[in-house]
């Protein structure tokens, strides 16, 4: 039995402006398949569920159609709708306890649909209800309790039993796991499993990303009533294509991610539409996105462009104005003008030597918009050279560099300054990267001066103060007049962060920004850096020798050895299950214990052989002679002949 939703729009009328809950949403639900609908609160998930059952309030105006098995449902015909509601299409409502009647025992409420809809005798119905409840793990006593006497998990079971009692063809679950502990969640998972194998159609409305990944086939991302991306469930946490999907998956505390929780910059609560009467025959719509704290002065959502653009990490000017439709990319459907998440930086086969010292062997490096990529490695492995090559400050001997879709070398020749505005760099030593003759004000204003972005010193001062406030530094006159040697390291590193951020770059390159700080200051500075990364929508290349640190901050991670990235992929994957023996060594060495299983001899590396061969316990003859190519394995890439499983 398939449920198809065709261009469904729902507007809630509310005085002058109406709230746009759904905007031309089309979904196709097939039997035996579970589709998960994911979005922030206010994205219209529940409205969609209610619309399917015809339960929308009076002030909702609905456009579009919903059909079951190709037959359009007529929501004006209450009697047939009533028949159809529990028999063919059942819903488990959010906030379970509130949808149960407190003066009836649970078992009575579960039996009720049977009695009402299926014309079954009371005694028989009670038996069937008890049976259904016990299947979900409620015993006889619990069945006879009132709803307020049950725990949240038991109520959820009762609701599931109620929804399933008439064996409907379509099951809609609205946040079935919210408020449930992990163990109780598995009962919901079992129900979904069973429904799928019973060839039922399941619509799972949730914000529990990991649950959705494991219990659904397809996931649809809803943002302010619009579908942003539809993707296979297993791709949600590993390879999303829409910036919204990525940002949301980064906000979710999945067990498999090690990075500190991200979040999405900005807020959006709901979307309103003002109707200013008719202009030339069509309703002139004026749309706003309401966000908390904005009161009535809401942020102006683009009347025509992408709804997500003001929170997006890769929005262009045209994202504001050009309408976007869903397009098919592989097995995803994506609503993005830029065809999904773009790479902000793409280095291909870059090489660099200083005289006869080879600092960088042919290496690829891709940084996606809005992500934090960490490079980890020993000293002298070429991390800084790679970072400076990425920053455009070093010219590679070979290889191509592409920044934001443009050839970087060509860009540098044509107009280096405009490229420099896009890339901010934070150096390892703040004391050295700021001239000791500059005051805080002069140091932070220097980039503005060089680029001549401010007409006068008052405007410059205003921007300096703004960026200093961003990095949580004092903005009073006395502080602005301080010299670097009068500040402590933490404050100084924030000044250099302010310097890197004052031009509003889109890529931030941080070269060991915390190595000169003690752990407590380091923690503060890093937290600030990551908050800024999210708030400003930056992409970041983070260079560090501390793999523990990299684990906490990066989305993706690359391990460098002798001028080459030998393994890179999602940070959690690389750290939990390293594929290269060298990565294993790095992780195991964090504690400072000597690593007996690795050879400590720094034997001669055969030219053309694997650079880790002398130390590698898994090395065979082939490693001596042949440097392994980077090969993709799952979601990561690794250069090893005998990768660890």
Q: Give the interface with other proteins as residue ranges (CB under 8 A).
A: 391-393, 416-417, 420-421, 423, 425, 427, 429, 432-437, 446-447, 450-451, 483, 485, 499, 503
CA angle (413, 418, 423) in 5-degree steps? 105
Shortest Å distance, C-beta 473 to other proteins: 18
> How many CB atoms are located within 10 Å of the residue 548 CB?
14
User: Residue 316 in contact with residue 358, Cβ under 8 Å?
Assistant: no
User: Residue 489 in contact with residue 516, Cβ under 8 Å?
Assistant: yes
Two tokens, residue 581: 């023996």
Shortest Å distance, C-beta 560 to other proteins: 21
Shortest Å distance, C-beta 211 to other proteins: 46
Enumerate residues 6+ apart whose C-beta is below 8 A from 111: 122, 125, 126, 128, 129, 165
CB nearer to other proteins: give 278 or 485: 485
Q: With CA atoms as reference, report the closest residue to 271 among 42, 614, 585.
A: 42
For the residues of 181-197, what is the DSSP string, one character each? -HHHHHHHHHHHHHHHH
Shortest Å distance, C-beta 537 to other proteins: 21
CB nearer to other proteins: give 447 or 628: 447
Two tokens, residue 467: 């960026």
Two tokens, residue 7: 């261009």
CB nearer to other proteins: give 418 or 600: 418
Shortest Å distance, C-beta 466 to other proteins: 18
User: Residue 247 in contact with residue 207, Cβ under 8 Å?
Assistant: no
Backbone dihedral angles phi then psi of residue 111, each to the nearest 5 degrees: -75, -20
Helix (H, G, I), strand (E, B) or coil at 510: strand
User: Residue 405 in contact with residue 419, Cβ under 8 Å?
Assistant: no
Shortest Å distance, C-beta 632 to other proteins: 33
Helix (H, G, I), strand (E, B) or coil at 180: coil
Helix axes 489-501, 457-470, angle to 10 degrees: 120
- Measure the CA–CA gap between 46 and 59, rounded to whole angstroms: 16
- Measure the CA–CA gap between 74 and 261, rounded to whole angstroms: 45
Shortest Å distance, C-beta 427 to other proteins: 6
CB nearer to other proteins: give 447 or 643: 447
> How many CB atoms are located within 10 Å of the residue 351 CB?
17
Up-side HSE of residue 247: CA atoms within 13 Å toward CB?
Answer: 30
> Whose structure tokens read 């990095």?
471
Two tokens, residue 445: 């204003």
CB nearer to other proteins: give 180 or 464: 464
CB nearer to other proteins: give 422 or 627: 422
CB nearer to other proteins: give 391 or 540: 391
Shortest Å distance, C-beta 380 to other proteins: 18
Shortest Å distance, C-beta 484 to other proteins: 9
CB nearer to other proteins: give 484 or 609: 484
Shortest Å distance, C-beta 420 to other proteins: 4
Burial of 557 (0-12, 13-18, 19+ CB in 10 A): buried
Two tokens, residue 330: 């592989």
CB nearer to other proteins: give 130 or 391: 391
| Strand 218-223, strand 327-329: pairing | unpaired
Shortest Å distance, C-beta 525 to other proteins: 18
Q: With CA atoms as reference, report the closest residue to 422 among 400, 435, 406, 440.
A: 406
| Strand 3-14, strand 17-29: pairing | antiparallel
Shortest Å distance, C-beta 433 to other proteins: 4
CB nearer to other proteins: give 129 or 386: 386
């Amino acid at each position: 039995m398939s449920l198809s939703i065709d261009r469904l729009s729902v507007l809630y009328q509310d005085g002058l402006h109406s709230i746009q809950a759904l905007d031309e949403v089309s979904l196709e639900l097939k039997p035996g398949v579970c589709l998960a609908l994911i979005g922030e609160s206010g994205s219209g998930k529940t409205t969609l569920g209610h619309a399917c059952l015809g339960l929308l309030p009076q002030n909702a105006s609905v456009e579009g159609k919903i059909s079951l098995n190709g037959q359009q449902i007529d929501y004006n015909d209450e009697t047939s709708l009533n028949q159809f509601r529990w028999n063919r299409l059942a819903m488990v409502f959010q906030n379970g306890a509130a949808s149960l009647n407190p003066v009836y025992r649970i078992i009575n409420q579960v039996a009720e649909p049977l009695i009402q809809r299926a014309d079954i005798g009371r005694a028989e119905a009670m038996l069937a209800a008890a049976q259904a409840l016990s299947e979900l793990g409620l015993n006889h006593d619990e069945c006879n309790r009132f709803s307020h006497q049950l725990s949240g998990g038991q109520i959820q079971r009762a609701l599931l039993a109620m929804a399933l009692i008439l064996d409907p063809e379509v099951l809609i679950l609205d946040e079935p796991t919210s408020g449930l502990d992990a163990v109780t969640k598995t009962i919901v998972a079992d129900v979904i499993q069973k429904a799928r194998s019973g060839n039922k159609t399941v619509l799972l409305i949730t914000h529990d990303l990991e649950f959705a990944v494991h219990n659904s086939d397809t996931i649809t991302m809803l943002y302010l009533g619009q579908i942003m991306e539809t993707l296979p469930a297993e791709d949600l946490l590993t390879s999303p294509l829409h910036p919204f999907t990525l940002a949301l998956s980064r906000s979710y505390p999945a067990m498999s991610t090690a990075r500190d929780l991200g979040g999405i910059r900005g807020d959006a609560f709901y979307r309103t539409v003002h109707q200013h009467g008719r202009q030339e025959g069509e309703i002139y719509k004026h749309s706003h996105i309401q966000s908390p704290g904005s009161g009535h002065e809401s942020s102006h959502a683009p009347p025509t462009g992408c709804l997500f653009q003001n929170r997006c990490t890769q929005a262009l000017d045209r994202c504001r104005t050009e309408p976007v439709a869903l397009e098919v990319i592989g097995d995803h459907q994506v609503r993005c003008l830029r065809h999904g998440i773009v790479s902000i930086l793409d280095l291909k086969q870059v090489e660099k030597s200083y005289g006869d010292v080879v600092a960088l062997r042919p290496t690829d490096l891709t940084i996606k918009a809005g992500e934090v990529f960490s490079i980890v490695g020993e000293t002298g492995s070429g991390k800084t050279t790679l970072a400076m090559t990425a920053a455009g400050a070093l010219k590679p001997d070979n290889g191509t560099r592409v920044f934001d879709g443009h050839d970087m070398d060509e860009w540098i020749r044509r107009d280096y300054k405009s490229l420099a505005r896009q890339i901010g760099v934070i150096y390892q030593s703040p004391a050295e990267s700021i001239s000791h003759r500059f005051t805080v004000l002069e140091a932070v204003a220097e980039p503005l001066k060089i680029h001549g972005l401010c007409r006068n010193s008052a405007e410059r001062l205003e921007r300096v103060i703004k960026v200093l406030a961003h990095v949580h530094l004092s903005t009073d006159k006395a502080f602005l007049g301080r010299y670097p040697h009068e500040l402590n390291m933490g404050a100084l590193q924030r000044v250099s962060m302010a310097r890197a951020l004052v031009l509003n770059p889109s890529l931030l390159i941080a070269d060991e920004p915390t190595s000169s700080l003690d752990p407590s200051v380091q923690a503060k500075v890093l937290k600030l850096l990551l908050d800024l990364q999210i708030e400003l929508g930056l992409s970041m290349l983070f260079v560090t020798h501390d793999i523990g640190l990299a684990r906490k901050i990066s989305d993706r991670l690359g391990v460098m050895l002798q001028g080459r990235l030998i393994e890179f992929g999602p940070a959690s994957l690389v750290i939990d299950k390293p594929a290269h023996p060298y990565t294993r060594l790095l992780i195991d060495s964090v504690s400072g214990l000597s690593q007996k299983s690795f050879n400590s001899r720094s034997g001669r590396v055969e030219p053309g052989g694997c650079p880790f061969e002398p130390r590698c316990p898994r090395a065979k003859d082939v490693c001596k002679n042949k440097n392994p190519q980077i090969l993709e394995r799952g979601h990561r890439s690794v250069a090893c002949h005998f990768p660890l499983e």
